[in-house]
Amino acid sequence: MQRQVWRLVRRPQGDIRDGDLEYGTESLPPLADGEFLVEVIYLSLDPTNRIWMSDMEQYMPPVAIGAPMRGGIAGRVTQSRKAGVAVGDIYAGLGEWASHIVTDGTMLQQMPAIPGVSLAAAFGTFGVVGPTAYFGLLDIGQPKPGETLVVSAAAGGVGQIVGQIGKLKGCRVIGIAGGADKCRWITDELGFDAAIDYKAEDVGAALDRLAPDGIDINFEQVGGAIMDAVLKRMKLFGRVALCGMIAQYNLADGAADPVPGYWTMMLMRRLTVRGFIVTDFAPRFPEAMMALGQWMASSQVKTRQDIRQGLDKAGEHVKLLYSGGNFGKLLVEVSAP
């Protein structure tokens, strides 16, 4: 049995470059007892992929040089030597950038079919981005009716959901995204109150115009200059959910944090800043799935996937995340759903 797989062969310095990842074909050993084979349907590409490639301080061990690249996957069982796992079952969880994976089921969960929701939407939402948006906004952001919420990377996988939950909670929601299409989509389709196109306008000036009284909640996903502009405009008792800093992951290892310290401001304005990783909330994932499932079923939360074809192009597709090239949750279709 042969598979295609991406391996990390060199840690990126700055942007991911050709040659950091290597695509190839290899043989898989026969299944051992207790194992099963999953044919990957979707590979999830996420900002955190870049973190896993580096040996910076992070929340799980980096991918070892020479090892298969780690990634979220959804796929179909095609062989099984594990009791209770049947050919045809759909499993999703943490896997590899590969056409097939051999697993004993650790890090994977069976995925029930949800009527009316495609596998791409279900995997794209429930896997990582939905719980990230749900817990980051509700637990850390603690939105109250009438408050002003700013979310960056607003048309991305997490941002689109954050803004819609914010609206459900009665907030005034301002999304920051790149390009007129994305800005139109989050306001016209998703119901955000306003959008700032960071490629076309000065974010600070736009925030001054759209949120003259300041910002209660910042759902931070990008870092860098955009984060800086938002932080400076936080209101008394504001909350900052530090979810990601995609503009900073590609800094060469050891580079200084580009956003300065605002310690005195945090004190004077009594801000709460809290970093989190979605897995911190793992025991409560069912709560997020229940809520999101209901909101999606009633169309109160809409989701958009950006599905790209071909595992062999995954090394190119992943770069979209750092250039703002994706529009919706980025997935690679590895085999037909």
Q: Which residues bind a copy of itself (CB under 8 A)?
A: 56-59, 223, 227, 242-245, 248, 256-277, 280
Cβ-in-10-Å burial (0-12, 13-18, 19+) of 3 comes to buried
Q: How far is the CB of 225 from a copy of itself (least distance, A)?
A: 13
Query: In sequence order, which residues have a C-beta less than 8 Å from that of residue 145 and are 6 or more positions away?
Result: 169, 170, 171
CB closer to a copy of itself out of 56 and 289: 56
Distance CA 160, CA 326 (A): 12
Contact 157, 330 (CB under 8 A): yes
Structure tokens at 104: 């004993």
CB closer to a copy of itself out of 11 and 269: 269
Query: In sequence order, which residues have a C-beta less than 8 Å from that of residue 17 and are 6 or more positions away?
Result: none
Q: How far is the CB of 157 from a copy of itself (least distance, A)?
A: 17
CB closer to a copy of itself out of 104 and 139: 139
Question: Reduced to 3 DSSP states, what percent helix, strand and coil does the chain have, rounded to the nearest 5?
Answer: 30, 30, 40
Q: How far is the CB of 234 from a copy of itself (least distance, A)?
A: 11
Rama region for 102: left / alpha / beta (φ>0; ψ in -120 to 50; rest): beta
Distance CA 214, CA 239 (A): 12
Q: How many residues make up the chain in this entry? A: 337
CB closer to a copy of itself out of 165 and 231: 231
Q: How far is the CB of 226 from a copy of itself (least distance, A)?
A: 12
Q: How far is the CB of 278 from a copy of itself (least distance, A)?
A: 11
Q: How far is the CB of 244 from a copy of itself (least distance, A)?
A: 7
CB closer to a copy of itself out of 262 and 322: 262
CB closer to a copy of itself out of 48 and 303: 48
Give the CA dihedral 112, 132, 117, 152, nearest 10 degrees.
Answer: -160
Q: How far is the CB of 219 from a copy of itself (least distance, A)?
A: 13
Distance CA 295, CA 327 (A): 21
CB closer to a copy of itself out of 23 and 276: 276
Structure tokens at 191: 């119901």
